Structure 1
Amino acid sequence: MLPPRLHSRRRNPDESIRQTDGDASQARLSAVRKRYLNDPFIALLVPQPHLLPSRPPLINIGTYIRSEAIDELVVSWLQHNAASGSKVQIVSLGAGSDTRFWRLATGLLGGDLSRSIARYLELDFAENTSTKIRAIQVNKELNSVLGEAQISGASLVSDVYAIRDMDLRNSRHVLQDILIKSDEQPLGLLDTSLPTLVLCECVLCYMTQEQSDSLLKWFSDTFDQPAVIIYEMYGLNDSFGRVMKDNLRSRNVTLPGVDAYPTLDDQTRRYTNNGFPSAHALSLKTIRSQYIDPKELNRISRIEMLDELEELELVLHHYFVSWAFKNATDILRPWVLSRKVSTDSD
């Protein structure tokens, strides 16, 4: 949640972007160990987890809010489609060490929701997918959930779950040629007729506006019932944002896409400009203050002492969750994070 640690050594930009997954996974591991979150799988995907120190309370709380908000939206979408009897697909872009598939498959996110999933597909750089596949191979807690799986290079395919290595910046023709089932491609991983949810957690900000817009437009044009959830930072044109970008540049990481959509209204227009007629966005600050159950806020407040409340709100104000859907406007009502949704204006 905070500007990442500094490194003086210059690195290949793609290597530096890949390594941001380590920051996110270690933050999640810390939040799990402190019992903000319940996730028995993250420690299996983090190298040498026993050697990693806990993160500060501010990072733990931010990680908790991010996870709860996205999980709530994913579960609501799954519940809506399960009620209609429809099989669905989830596509996680830049998934890295994300554990959501295992948490769904084992019922940690509620009931038998995983039964409606026809395909859960993760796409990422080959280096990241290879690392995850190795962890899956050596951990029974992970591979036993998948059943029989075929592994080829940096890709894995089982009956439901699949990982595919891909550079998402060059996505439209690659996605179409490799992933979509057709007469010419009967083994494609995705069926365009199924409701399909696309998860983008801190991915699009590393692309140019043209690249990320092209990606969203492809999903909008290709699938009959696409939905998208985006989580990333925004509004980095103030002093906090400048510090964040300077720290990232010191790690050879740039954010070519972040300034194209500086406000939450811009974030909703990002969808409507690319084929999604309905979209919403909320900052993590607003989610914390208005959409998290007060009992939960009380619980997490007792875990650790937090002295920097103003700093927490400043950080949360610069991250958001947005979502959009196409040809399924009737799912707006249940998809509300437990309260009425409106575009955040804080």
Structure 2
Amino acid sequence: MLPPSLPRTGGPRDADVSIRQTDVDAAGARLSAVQRNYIRDPFIRFLVPRAHLQSPRPPLINIGTYVRSAAIDELVTQWLTLSEKEGTKCQIVSLGAGSDTRFWRIETGPHRESLSAYFELDFPEVTTKKAMAIRKSKELSAVLGDRDAVHLEHGGMALHAPRYHLLPVDLRLPPTQALAPLFSGSSSPPILSPTLPTLLLSECVFVYMSPTSSQALLRWFVDYFSSRSEAGASVLGGVVYEMFGLGDPFGKVMLQNLKSRGVSLPGADPYPNKESLPNRFRQYSFTTSQALTLREIRTAFIPSTEQERISRLELLDEIEELELVLEHYAITWGLKVPTETSLSADWNSWGLKEQTDERPGGEDGE
């Protein structure tokens, strides 16, 4: 939730090291939220070096991590459930996945059979470290399936399993250069099926890219799923979590803090307020697109029983600061349903809903 710290190194740094460091900080924040019982994630400790020596994060970061996790978990769970109702499997593509553990949580959860394939894309430096961590961990490796069916490629930068693909790529490059060889390439059929419902996840990724690059990336996926299928276009969804509205005094402080740590946010410029966020999907004729700030989600989209449980975990003194931070982070989701298709599931029901019941939340219920 807060600006990343710089890596401690006296040697030269490439221009992207501060961006990659944000994943280290996010993983540490998630580990802290797990240790403090905000969320459940039995796999994150295997992706955080010296996890047992990590210091807990302040309550403000723990709560922000919880709200983010609860909301995205809910959207993913709904996607998997709708695929089940459709009588088909689905795909998930995680852009800038970093140290995320969602694949392992899905594979060990109740909706495992809904998943056809899970793709994680990130810088080669990140995927190399993750591939090494996966191979080193018995717990992570066991979830991938038959060991003989798991193999490394590209000098250890890529890892492939029956339903999991870790792929090295610079997402800022032109998609025809960066994505096409990964997904369609020479394989037949392509590893990314153009006929299955597919969900794109982007957590603090687009904001580090130029608007031109992120638009080209999203356009490539829209075209891939609308024109490559002989059986007709498939359902495409997107979830974006990132900062926005950084033109006010608090936002300018956030920007300055990030700048002092070598991080810029060129992707935030087109989104000065919450109302502008759905435009990311609307410009590509998505059927629906909505956005909520983390503050709104915490207030009205988390069940009251969960809110009470969270309030008892730690004493929070910085209420005003928490609300300001949560007001500058948002989750936007978009859905593109083909116009000429017969779907049995109510895909248009997909999305976060205000909580009036006592459904569990924030516990990685994929």
State the TM-score, normalizing by the size of structure 1: 0.92
Matches within 5 A, 1:1-346: 1-5=1-5, 11-107=13-109, 111=110, 113-147=111-145, 148-152=149-153, 153=155, 154-181=157-184, 184-186=186-188, 188-223=190-225, 224=233, 225-327=235-337, 330-337=346-353, 339=355
| Contact kept? 2:167, 2:182, Cα under 8 Å | no
The amino acid that maps onto 2:114 is S
In the alignment, the residues of structure 2 paired with residue 127 and residue 6 of structure 1 have an alpha-carbon distance, to the nearest angstrom, of 16
Q: How many pairs are equivalent?
A: 335
Is this contact kept in 1: 2:237–2:335, CA < 8 A?
yes
Q: What residue ranges of structure 1 are gaps of 5+ in the alignment?
A: 341-346
Instruction: Report sequence identity in percent.
Output: 49
Per-residue CA deviation, residues 185-235 of structure 1 (Å, 9 max, x unaligned), is 326320111111000000000110111111111111111321100000001
* Contact 1:221/1:275, CA 8 A, preserved across alignment: no
Runs of 5+ unmatched residues, structure 2: 226-232, 340-345, 357-366
User: Quick one: structure 1 residues 319 and 122, their matched pair in 2 at CA, closer, same or farther if it must change by over 3 Å?
Assistant: same
**2:342 maps to which residue?**
none
* Most deviating of 12-21 and 154-163: 12-21
Q: Over the residues paired in the alignment, what is the CA RMSD in angstroms?
A: 1.9
Aligned mates of 2:338, 2:81 — CA distance in 1: 14
Give the secondary-structure state (helix, strand or coil) at the position aligned to 2:16. helix
1:334 deviation in Å?
A: 4.5
Give, in angstroms, the shift of residue 5 of structure 1: 3.5
Residue by residue over 1:53-108, the C-alpha shift from the partner in whole angstroms, topping out at 9 and shown as x without a partner, is: 1000000000000000000000001101111111111000000000001111111x
Shift of 1:277: 3.1
Contact 1:93-1:123 at 8 Å conserved across structures: yes
1:299-323 deviation digits (Å, cap 9, x = unpaired): 0110000011111111000000010
Letter of the 1:168 partner, please give it: L
2 CA distance for matches of 1:11 and 1:283?
A: 34
Distance 1:156 1:187 in 2: 19
Which amino acid in 2 is paired with 1:216? L
Deviates more, 1:134-143 or 1:220-229: 220-229
The letter of the residue matching 1:198 is L
- Between the aligned partners of 1:174 and 1:149, the Cα distance in structure 2 is 26
Measured at CA, do residues 202 and 176 of structure 1 come closer, stay the same or move farther in structure 2, by a change above 3 Å? closer
SS of aligned partner of 2:125: helix
AA aligned to 2:3 is P
Contact 1:291–1:339 at 8 Å: present in 2 too? yes
Distance 1:155 1:137, change over 3 A: same
Cα distance in 2, alignment partners of residues 218 and 173 from structure 1: 8
Q: Which residue of 2 aligns with 1:343?
A: none
Asked whether the 8 Å contact 2:170–2:178 carries over to 1, the reply is no
Alignment partner of 1:118: what SS? strand
Local SS of the residue matching 1:156: strand
SS in structure 2 of the partner of residue 163 of structure 1: strand
Partner Cα distance (1:274, 1:20) in 2? 29
Gap change, CA 1:187 and 1:80, over 3 Å in 2: closer
Contact 1:73 1:337 in 2 (8 A): no
Q: Which segment drifts farther, 197-206 or 186-195?
A: 186-195
1:24-60, Cα deviation, whole Å (9 max, x unpaired): 0000000000000000100100011122110000000
**CA–CA distance in 2 between the matches of 1:323 and 1:78?**
15
Q: Distance in 2 between matches of 1:261 and 1:40?
A: 35
Is 1:209–1:260's contact at 8 Å kept on the other side of the alignment?
Answer: yes
**Amino acid aligned to 1:72:** E
